[in-house]
Structure 1
Amino acid sequence: MRKKKAIFFAAIGIVLVVGVLALLKVLQIRAMIDQGKKFVPPPETVTTARATSQQWETSLTAVGSLSAVQGVTVSAELAGKVVEIAFHSGATVRKGDALLLQDTSTEEAQLPGSQAQTELTRLVLERDAKLLPKKIVSQNDYDTAAANHMQARSQENNIRATIGKKTIRAPFSGRLGIRQVNVGQMLREGDPIVTLQSLDPIYADFTLPQQELGRLHQGLPVRVTCDALPGVTVNGRVTAINPIIDADTRNVKLQATLENPGERLRPGLFVNVAVGLPTRRQVLVIPTTSVLYAPYGDSIFVVLDDPNKKGGKVLRQQFVRLGEKRGDYVAVVSGLKGDEEVVSTGAFKLKNGGAVVVDNRLSPSFSMTPKPENN
């Protein structure tokens, strides 16, 4: 009986100990929760910029591609064997430079005989010309001598032309592509040898909707950007407008001429084109780094005075609709008022209602025409 009482009291003691431990743990967890609710994270340090109003020229945007002012695949005019290649792939050549020589041994062997025949017919013609007034030769004999001389000259010139055509020369100045022939190779008429492109200046070909035709004319400024040259804008002018509207797309084709002194732009490159119009419009701009891009919408963080803390700053996340980008700036179509202060860097680490400290000592400089080394 005593043994059963001892076991009973021991069980009660264990239950009491477990209950006390559980109560202590519950109190600890509640204290941690209360402490977490009262915890205020330290303010984030950010840089800011003011939303400013600027005048931007109105522009029409399009996508296009580049093409050479002059571009051709140099080919063989006549069949023959390659005996010498006088160029290197990718080299710059001038108009008239020899590129390739074909075998002309047969023509050169025929040329002296043709020259001798030309000289002989010339002498016969000169002799008949002296004898014709004296009626020693007939008019028919003189005409035959003249025809024979012309035929001999034609044959000689034909041989010389064949020799000349077997020396392939650059038709204009430009940059060569990759060589497509080898020494000793037999070329047929029209076989490609190498591409030749004139790269400075260069054309940008693009299309715009037909409803914009009334605002277009030659001489309008053009700005071209591409992924191959990030941060670089190439300027040019509209130099041609196709007089025919495409019946399938109802678009008009335009061509702009761009300066390309460093030959950084190449034919076939995909580009973004902006055609500047004379009219200008007022836009509200902020740095592009202020925007937090997301699938559900783009947003920015506006910096406001904290009503609960004197001198403090808090954030308000604001969704905005964006417009055109130029340089380091982007136009805000709606969602923001002028002169509001927005976070310019580090938006990805912020949250709505968070406290911040503004420190613009490390703020990057923003420009409408940034240089690549600053991006």
Structure 2
Amino acid sequence: MHRCSPSRARRWATRTRTCSLPRRGRRPAGRAGALLAARVTSQRAVEEAEGELAVAEAEVEAARARVRAYGIDPATPVEAGRVVLASPIRGSVVTRSAHIGQWIEPGDAVLEVVDLDELWLLGAIFERDLRHARAGQRAEIEVRALPGERFSGEVAHVGQTLAHGDRTAALRVVLANPGHRLRPGMFATARLEAPAAGPQVLAVPAAAVQELDERHFVFVPAGEGVFDVRSVRLGTREADWVEVIEGLAAGEQVVASGGLLLRGQLLRSTLGEEEGEE
């Protein structure tokens, strides 16, 4: 890319001017050395010429440093203040906002270069799933534009704060992009690899748990059309399942469908008993 600006042109002019100083300084120093050898000049004159040469070389190095600060290689051939700028990364140009002859100002974005060999998937994870997400975890990616295909990635970052609206945390997954089939802006879904299995727990469908007067209970079949009401103490919830810490034994059956109907019958019978006591 070619770019020309007043500030760069001034820096380039300084570089061009100072690069000629050592050449001019070497000639007097060389002549002084020859004259000293022929006993025509003094040692002091030779030292002064060598000192001027050293100053000129220092000015050249300073000019090169100023040019490098602009991202320009000092070895670039001079072409009327025009220089070639190389991208600091290898990749593909995905956006060009300038054209030949257009005037640009410092800070203007001229080109956007993206390394498509490796992409980031930026997503969100719900609060209830945060305990299962961690950096370094494997992820399986599905892209809407490529149905039926799956890509492998790795979780690079899990956000430390939650969005106030949907209660989600930011998630970043890094994935390789061989053949550049994936493109920035595509919609995708990530499925995280399940962590190592922990100790087994007793769990029931969340639909089986009823609540009354801030107490949780389930209905346990006790015969044909007969159900026991069992109070339970709950633990963590995972998707559509909830852990039962106390109140049930492994292998016992619970009513998962129709629990609301049984709850209504329980309320009516409870109210009837209270009215009978009165």
> Structure 1 length normalisation: TM-score?
0.38
State the TM-score, normalizing by the size of structure 2: 0.48
Higher relative contact order (CA 8 A, sep 6+): 1
